[in-house]
Amino acid sequence: MVKLMEEIYCFAGNPLDRVSQRRQDAGWVASLLHDSETRLLPLHGLKPRVRHSSAAALDWQSVAPWQSLIDDGAILILLGTRDGQAYFALDATLTETAPDGDGAVMDARAIAPLIDGGEALIDWHTRHRFCAQCGTPSVVASGGWVRHCPNCHAHHFPRVDPVVIMLAVKGERCLLGRGRRRVGTRFSCLAGFMEPGETLEEAVRREILEESGVQIGGVRYLASQPWPFPSSLMMGFLAEALSEEITIDPDEIAEARWFERDEVRAMVERSRSDDPVPGVATLPPPLAIGHQIARRWAFGLDTV
Protein backbone atom coordinates (compact mmCIF):
# COMPACT_ATOMS: atom_id res chain seq x y z
CA MET A 1 0.00 0.00 0.00
CA VAL A 2 2.99 2.30 0.45
CA LYS A 3 3.56 2.48 -3.31
CA LEU A 4 -0.07 3.44 -3.90
CA MET A 5 0.19 6.27 -1.43
CA GLU A 6 3.35 7.60 -3.07
CA GLU A 7 1.76 7.67 -6.50
CA ILE A 8 -1.75 8.93 -5.97
CA TYR A 9 -0.96 11.52 -3.33
CA CYS A 10 0.33 13.84 -6.03
CA PHE A 11 -1.20 16.90 -4.34
CA ALA A 12 -0.81 15.62 -0.79
CA GLY A 13 2.05 14.84 1.54
CA ASN A 14 2.57 18.54 2.19
CA PRO A 15 6.13 19.02 3.54
CA LEU A 16 5.19 22.39 5.04
CA ASP A 17 3.89 23.07 8.51
CA ARG A 18 0.54 24.78 7.87
CA VAL A 19 0.96 26.78 11.12
CA SER A 20 -2.82 26.78 11.51
CA GLN A 21 -2.59 27.88 15.14
CA ARG A 22 -0.65 31.03 14.23
CA ARG A 23 -2.35 32.11 11.00
CA GLN A 24 -4.90 34.18 12.93
CA ASP A 25 -2.11 36.46 14.17
CA ALA A 26 -2.06 39.11 11.43
CA GLY A 27 1.00 40.78 12.92
CA TRP A 28 2.99 37.56 12.86
CA VAL A 29 1.94 36.81 9.26
CA ALA A 30 2.94 40.35 8.23
CA SER A 31 6.31 39.96 9.92
CA LEU A 32 7.07 36.97 7.71
CA LEU A 33 6.96 39.23 4.68
CA HIS A 34 9.84 41.27 6.11
CA ASP A 35 12.03 38.19 6.55
CA SER A 36 14.66 38.00 3.81
CA GLU A 37 14.39 34.19 3.84
CA THR A 38 10.66 34.17 3.01
CA ARG A 39 9.79 32.97 -0.47
CA LEU A 40 6.68 33.32 -2.58
CA LEU A 41 5.42 31.60 -5.72
CA PRO A 42 3.74 33.92 -8.25
CA LEU A 43 0.67 32.46 -9.97
CA HIS A 44 -0.36 33.97 -13.30
CA GLY A 45 -3.91 33.09 -14.25
CA LEU A 46 -3.60 30.32 -11.64
CA LYS A 47 -0.56 28.97 -13.48
CA PRO A 48 2.60 28.70 -11.35
CA ARG A 49 5.96 30.01 -12.49
CA VAL A 50 8.81 27.61 -13.21
CA ARG A 51 12.41 28.48 -13.95
CA HIS A 52 13.54 28.36 -17.56
CA SER A 53 10.25 26.70 -18.62
CA SER A 54 11.36 23.56 -16.83
CA ALA A 55 9.14 21.45 -14.60
CA ALA A 56 12.22 20.65 -12.55
CA ALA A 57 11.93 23.66 -10.25
CA LEU A 58 9.22 26.06 -9.19
CA ASP A 59 10.21 29.71 -9.45
CA TRP A 60 10.19 30.66 -5.76
CA GLN A 61 11.10 34.33 -5.39
CA SER A 62 11.97 36.79 -2.67
CA VAL A 63 9.25 39.14 -1.43
CA ALA A 64 10.83 42.53 -2.17
CA PRO A 65 10.24 42.65 -5.96
CA TRP A 66 6.55 41.89 -5.38
CA GLN A 67 5.95 44.21 -2.43
CA SER A 68 4.08 46.84 -4.44
CA LEU A 69 1.69 44.22 -5.78
CA ILE A 70 1.10 42.94 -2.26
CA ASP A 71 0.53 46.49 -1.00
CA ASP A 72 -2.07 46.97 -3.76
CA GLY A 73 -4.09 44.11 -2.28
CA ALA A 74 -3.11 41.10 -4.42
CA ILE A 75 -4.29 37.86 -2.88
CA LEU A 76 -1.53 36.31 -0.79
CA ILE A 77 -1.73 32.84 0.78
CA LEU A 78 0.53 31.65 3.59
CA LEU A 79 1.22 28.06 2.54
CA GLY A 80 3.25 27.24 5.64
CA THR A 81 6.77 27.07 7.00
CA ARG A 82 9.66 24.65 6.77
CA ASP A 83 12.83 24.78 8.82
CA GLY A 84 11.90 28.29 9.93
CA GLN A 85 11.34 29.57 6.37
CA ALA A 86 7.90 30.82 5.27
CA TYR A 87 6.33 30.14 1.88
CA PHE A 88 3.50 32.11 0.24
CA ALA A 89 1.51 31.89 -2.99
CA LEU A 90 0.76 35.22 -4.72
CA ASP A 91 -1.88 36.03 -7.30
CA ALA A 92 0.28 37.82 -9.88
CA THR A 93 -2.27 37.58 -12.70
CA LEU A 94 -2.23 41.33 -13.39
CA THR A 95 1.53 41.48 -13.91
CA GLU A 96 3.24 40.72 -17.21
CA THR A 97 6.41 38.93 -16.14
CA ALA A 98 8.51 38.35 -13.07
CA PRO A 99 10.81 41.23 -12.10
CA ASP A 100 13.90 39.17 -12.89
CA GLY A 101 12.44 37.73 -16.09
CA ASP A 102 13.94 34.34 -15.25
CA GLY A 103 11.02 32.00 -15.67
CA ALA A 104 7.79 31.10 -17.41
CA VAL A 105 4.29 30.02 -16.49
CA MET A 106 3.09 26.47 -16.99
CA ASP A 107 -0.22 24.67 -16.64
CA ALA A 108 -0.48 23.22 -13.16
CA ARG A 109 -1.32 19.76 -14.47
CA ALA A 110 2.01 19.64 -16.30
CA ILE A 111 3.95 20.09 -13.07
CA ALA A 112 1.44 18.54 -10.68
CA PRO A 113 3.94 16.77 -8.41
CA LEU A 114 5.58 20.10 -7.56
CA ILE A 115 2.62 22.27 -6.58
CA ASP A 116 0.51 22.61 -3.46
CA GLY A 117 -2.82 24.09 -2.43
CA GLY A 118 -1.99 27.72 -3.19
CA GLU A 119 -3.65 27.62 -6.60
CA ALA A 120 -6.93 26.25 -5.25
CA LEU A 121 -7.07 28.85 -2.47
CA ILE A 122 -6.42 31.78 -4.80
CA ASP A 123 -9.11 30.51 -7.14
CA TRP A 124 -11.53 30.34 -4.19
CA HIS A 125 -10.73 33.92 -3.18
CA THR A 126 -11.34 35.25 -6.70
CA ARG A 127 -14.78 33.62 -6.73
CA HIS A 128 -15.84 34.58 -3.18
CA ARG A 129 -15.12 38.26 -2.82
CA PHE A 130 -18.49 39.09 -1.23
CA CYS A 131 -20.08 37.92 2.00
CA ALA A 132 -22.63 35.19 1.30
CA GLN A 133 -24.65 36.37 4.29
CA CYS A 134 -25.04 40.12 3.66
CA GLY A 135 -23.32 40.83 0.33
CA THR A 136 -20.63 43.14 1.72
CA PRO A 137 -17.15 42.89 0.16
CA SER A 138 -15.16 40.60 2.45
CA VAL A 139 -11.47 40.78 3.32
CA VAL A 140 -8.73 38.18 3.45
CA ALA A 141 -7.81 36.95 6.93
CA SER A 142 -5.75 34.22 8.64
CA GLY A 143 -2.98 34.27 6.08
CA GLY A 144 -5.42 33.70 3.22
CA TRP A 145 -7.29 30.76 4.71
CA VAL A 146 -10.40 32.73 5.71
CA ARG A 147 -12.48 35.65 4.41
CA HIS A 148 -14.00 37.96 7.01
CA CYS A 149 -17.01 40.22 6.54
CA PRO A 150 -16.44 43.66 8.16
CA ASN A 151 -20.20 44.31 8.22
CA CYS A 152 -21.88 41.23 9.74
CA HIS A 153 -18.62 39.71 11.03
CA ALA A 154 -19.26 36.36 9.34
CA HIS A 155 -16.28 34.17 8.56
CA HIS A 156 -16.12 32.24 5.30
CA PHE A 157 -13.82 29.26 4.83
CA PRO A 158 -12.58 27.63 1.62
CA ARG A 159 -14.84 24.81 0.58
CA VAL A 160 -13.82 21.30 -0.42
CA ASP A 161 -16.14 19.40 -2.76
CA PRO A 162 -16.30 15.66 -1.95
CA VAL A 163 -16.14 13.41 -5.01
CA VAL A 164 -16.40 9.62 -5.13
CA ILE A 165 -14.38 7.84 -7.83
CA MET A 166 -14.82 4.11 -8.14
CA LEU A 167 -14.00 1.01 -10.11
CA ALA A 168 -16.90 -1.41 -10.48
CA VAL A 169 -15.61 -4.99 -10.68
CA LYS A 170 -17.30 -8.24 -11.69
CA GLY A 171 -15.06 -11.30 -11.78
CA GLU A 172 -12.06 -10.61 -14.03
CA ARG A 173 -13.58 -7.50 -15.59
CA CYS A 174 -13.92 -3.90 -14.52
CA LEU A 175 -16.12 -1.06 -15.70
CA LEU A 176 -14.49 2.05 -17.17
CA GLY A 177 -16.11 5.05 -18.82
CA ARG A 178 -15.27 8.01 -21.00
CA GLY A 179 -16.89 11.37 -20.23
CA ARG A 180 -18.55 13.49 -22.90
CA ARG A 181 -16.08 16.31 -22.33
CA ARG A 182 -13.10 13.99 -22.83
CA VAL A 183 -12.23 13.56 -26.50
CA GLY A 184 -10.24 10.58 -27.72
CA THR A 185 -10.06 7.14 -26.13
CA ARG A 186 -9.06 7.87 -22.54
CA PHE A 187 -11.13 5.80 -20.11
CA SER A 188 -11.21 6.08 -16.34
CA CYS A 189 -13.14 5.08 -13.26
CA LEU A 190 -16.63 6.51 -12.98
CA ALA A 191 -16.88 9.47 -10.61
CA GLY A 192 -19.31 12.05 -9.30
CA PHE A 193 -20.02 14.60 -6.59
CA MET A 194 -21.68 13.55 -3.37
CA GLU A 195 -25.13 14.87 -2.58
CA PRO A 196 -26.25 16.25 0.81
CA GLY A 197 -27.35 13.53 3.20
CA GLU A 198 -25.53 10.69 1.40
CA THR A 199 -23.04 8.27 2.84
CA LEU A 200 -19.94 7.53 0.78
CA GLU A 201 -21.26 4.06 -0.06
CA GLU A 202 -24.62 5.44 -1.18
CA ALA A 203 -22.90 7.96 -3.43
CA VAL A 204 -20.81 5.22 -5.05
CA ARG A 205 -23.88 3.08 -5.77
CA ARG A 206 -25.94 6.01 -7.03
CA GLU A 207 -23.28 7.40 -9.35
CA ILE A 208 -22.50 4.05 -10.96
CA LEU A 209 -26.19 3.31 -11.42
CA GLU A 210 -26.92 6.76 -12.88
CA GLU A 211 -23.98 6.77 -15.27
CA SER A 212 -23.94 3.13 -16.38
CA GLY A 213 -27.10 1.38 -15.18
CA VAL A 214 -25.01 -1.19 -13.29
CA GLN A 215 -26.24 -2.31 -9.86
CA ILE A 216 -23.68 -2.29 -7.03
CA GLY A 217 -23.42 -4.36 -3.85
CA GLY A 218 -20.38 -4.16 -1.61
CA VAL A 219 -18.19 -1.03 -1.58
CA ARG A 220 -14.62 -0.83 -0.26
CA TYR A 221 -12.69 2.36 0.42
CA LEU A 222 -9.13 2.54 -0.95
CA ALA A 223 -7.56 6.00 -0.70
CA SER A 224 -8.15 9.71 -1.27
CA GLN A 225 -6.48 12.51 -3.23
CA PRO A 226 -6.87 16.29 -3.02
CA TRP A 227 -7.55 17.58 -6.54
CA PRO A 228 -7.11 21.36 -6.80
CA PHE A 229 -8.97 21.88 -10.11
CA PRO A 230 -10.41 23.75 -8.42
CA SER A 231 -11.09 22.27 -4.96
CA SER A 232 -12.18 18.64 -4.83
CA LEU A 233 -11.34 15.74 -2.56
CA MET A 234 -11.34 12.53 -4.60
CA MET A 235 -12.25 9.48 -2.50
CA GLY A 236 -11.46 6.20 -4.22
CA PHE A 237 -13.37 2.89 -3.97
CA LEU A 238 -13.72 -0.58 -5.40
CA ALA A 239 -17.33 -1.62 -5.94
CA GLU A 240 -18.89 -5.08 -6.38
CA ALA A 241 -20.99 -5.13 -9.56
CA LEU A 242 -24.20 -7.17 -9.28
CA SER A 243 -25.28 -6.71 -12.90
CA GLU A 244 -23.54 -6.44 -16.27
CA GLU A 245 -25.87 -4.69 -18.70
CA ILE A 246 -24.75 -1.13 -19.41
CA THR A 247 -27.13 1.76 -20.03
CA ILE A 248 -25.17 5.01 -20.10
CA ASP A 249 -26.37 8.45 -19.15
CA PRO A 250 -25.77 10.29 -22.46
CA ASP A 251 -25.61 13.65 -20.71
CA GLU A 252 -22.56 12.51 -18.72
CA ILE A 253 -20.97 9.52 -20.43
CA ALA A 254 -19.92 9.12 -24.04
CA GLU A 255 -19.03 5.46 -23.64
CA ALA A 256 -18.72 2.81 -20.92
CA ARG A 257 -17.69 -0.79 -21.23
CA TRP A 258 -16.23 -3.78 -19.42
CA PHE A 259 -12.48 -4.38 -19.69
CA GLU A 260 -10.60 -7.60 -19.01
CA ARG A 261 -7.80 -7.47 -16.48
CA ASP A 262 -5.09 -7.92 -19.13
CA GLU A 263 -6.61 -5.11 -21.20
CA VAL A 264 -6.28 -2.74 -18.25
CA ARG A 265 -2.66 -3.79 -17.72
CA ALA A 266 -1.92 -2.81 -21.31
CA MET A 267 -3.78 0.48 -20.81
CA VAL A 268 -1.62 1.23 -17.77
CA GLU A 269 1.51 0.91 -19.88
CA ARG A 270 0.10 3.03 -22.71
CA SER A 271 -0.88 5.80 -20.28
CA ARG A 272 2.76 6.13 -19.26
CA SER A 273 3.90 6.59 -22.84
CA ASP A 274 4.74 9.98 -24.33
CA ASP A 275 3.63 8.69 -27.73
CA PRO A 276 0.11 7.20 -27.33
CA VAL A 277 -1.37 5.09 -30.13
CA PRO A 278 -4.31 6.94 -31.74
CA GLY A 279 -7.65 5.23 -31.33
CA VAL A 280 -6.42 2.74 -28.70
CA ALA A 281 -7.92 2.86 -25.20
CA THR A 282 -5.75 4.26 -22.43
CA LEU A 283 -6.02 5.54 -18.85
CA PRO A 284 -5.41 8.94 -17.26
CA PRO A 285 -1.77 9.67 -16.37
CA PRO A 286 -0.28 8.13 -13.20
CA LEU A 287 -0.79 11.34 -11.19
CA ALA A 288 -4.58 10.69 -11.16
CA ILE A 289 -6.20 8.49 -8.56
CA GLY A 290 -8.33 6.91 -11.31
CA HIS A 291 -5.16 5.53 -12.88
CA GLN A 292 -3.92 4.11 -9.59
CA ILE A 293 -7.20 2.41 -8.68
CA ALA A 294 -7.37 0.70 -12.08
CA ARG A 295 -3.66 -0.18 -11.99
CA ARG A 296 -3.80 -1.80 -8.59
CA TRP A 297 -6.84 -3.88 -9.49
CA ALA A 298 -5.34 -4.93 -12.83
CA PHE A 299 -2.17 -6.23 -11.17
CA GLY A 300 -4.05 -8.00 -8.37
CA LEU A 301 -3.08 -5.61 -5.58
CA ASP A 302 -6.64 -4.76 -4.51
CA THR A 303 -9.89 -6.74 -4.40
CA VAL A 304 -13.46 -5.83 -3.49
Q: What is the pLDDT of residues 10-44, one digit of tens each?
A: 565 677 888 988 999 999 999 999 999 999 988 88
Closest CA to 258 of 221, 214, 291: 214
Give the chain's count of helices (H) and strands (E). 7, 14
Q: What is the dihedral of CA 233, 235, 241, 244, to 10 degrees?
A: 30
State the pTM of this model. 0.79
Return the sign of the alpha-carbon dihedral for residues 89, 90, 95, 97.
Answer: negative
- Specify the pLDDT at position 5: 38
Single-letter code of the amino acid located at 20: S
Query: What are the sequence ranges of the domains in the chain?
Result: 14-156, 161-298
- Specify the pLDDT at position 110: 54
Q: What is the pLDDT of residues 117-169, one digit of tens each?
A: 566 788 889 889 999 999 999 999 999 999 999 999 999 999 889 999 999 99
Give mean pLDDT, residues 78-100: 82
- Specify the pLDDT at position 1: 32
> What is the distance between the alpha carbons of residues 9 and 220, in angstroms, rounded to a whole number?
19
Q: May I ask the CATH class of domain 161-298?
A: alpha beta
Given a cut of 90, whether residue 46 has pLDDT beyond it is no
Assess whether the region 14-156 and the region 161-298 belong to the same CATH fold. yes
- C-beta separation of 123 from 75 below 8 A: no
Q: How confident is the model at residue 206 (pLDDT cuts 50, 70, 90)?
A: very high
Given a cut of 60, whether residue 115 has pLDDT beyond it is no
What's the CATH fold of domain 14-156?
Nucleoside Triphosphate Pyrophosphohydrolase (3.90.79)
Question: In this structure, what are the phi and psi dihedrals at residue 262, rounded to the nearest 5 degrees?
Answer: -70, -30
